[in-house]
Chain A
Amino acid sequence: DAGITQSPRHKVTETGTPVTLRCHQTENHRYMYWYRQDPGHGLRLIHYSYGVKDTDKGEVSDGYSVSRSKTEDFLLTLESATSSQTSVYFCAISERTDPYNEQFFGPGTRLTVL
Chain B
Amino acid sequence: GIQVEQSPPDLILQEGANSTLRCNFSDSVNNLQWFHQNPWGQLINLFYIPSGTKQNGRLSATTVATERYSLLYISSSQTTDSGVYFCAVKISSGSARQLTFGSGTQLTVLP
Binding site for B on A (CB under 8 A): 31, 33, 40-45, 48, 50, 56, 58-59, 88, 90, 98-105, 107-108, 110
Within 8 A of A (CB), among B87-111: 88, 90, 92, 97-99, 101-104
Question: In the bound complex, what is the Cα–Cα distance between A89 and B98 (angstroms)?
Answer: 15
Instruction: Tell whether A108 pairs with B41 under 8 Å between CB atoms, given A33-B98, A99-B31, A103-B33.
Output: yes
Query: Pick the contact of B103 from A40, A56, A103 — CB < 8 Å?
Result: A40
List the A residue with the shortest CB-CB distance to B29. A99
| Among listed B14-22, B43-51, B55-63, B66-74, interface-contacting one | B43-51
Contact A88 B45 (CB under 8 A): no
Q: Using CB atoms, name the residue of chain B closest to A57.
A: B98
* Contact (Cβ within 8 A) B98 A107: no
Q: Across the interface, do B42 and A108 meet the contact criterion of CB distance under 8 Å?
A: yes
- Interface centre among A31, A50, A90, by most B CB within 10 Å? A90
Could you tell me if B98 and A104 are in contact, using CB atoms closer than 8 angstroms?
no
B88 to chain A, nearest CB (A): 7
Residues of B within 8 A of A105 (CB): 35, 42-43, 45
Of the candidates A40, A43, A105, the one having the most CB atoms from chain B within 10 angstroms of its own CB is A43
B25 within 8 A of A: no
In the complex, A61→B102 CA distance in Å?
Answer: 19
Determine if A99 and B50 form an interchain contact, defined as CB atoms under 8 angstroms apart: yes
* A104 CA to B98 CA, complexed, in Å: 13
Please tell me if the beta carbons of A101 and B31 are within 8 angstroms of each other in the complex. Answer: yes
Q: CB distance A43 to B86 under 8 Å?
A: yes
Known contacts A99-B50, A101-B31; is-contact A48 B97 (Cβ 8 Å): yes
Which residue of B42, B48, B97, B101 contacts A42 across the interface (Cβ within 8 Å)? B101
The 10 closest A-B pairs by CB, nearest first: A99-B30, A42-B101, A45-B98, A105-B43, A102-B48, A43-B101, A42-B103, A99-B31, A58-B98, A108-B41
Contacting residues, chain B, for A103 (C-beta < 8 A): 33, 88, 99
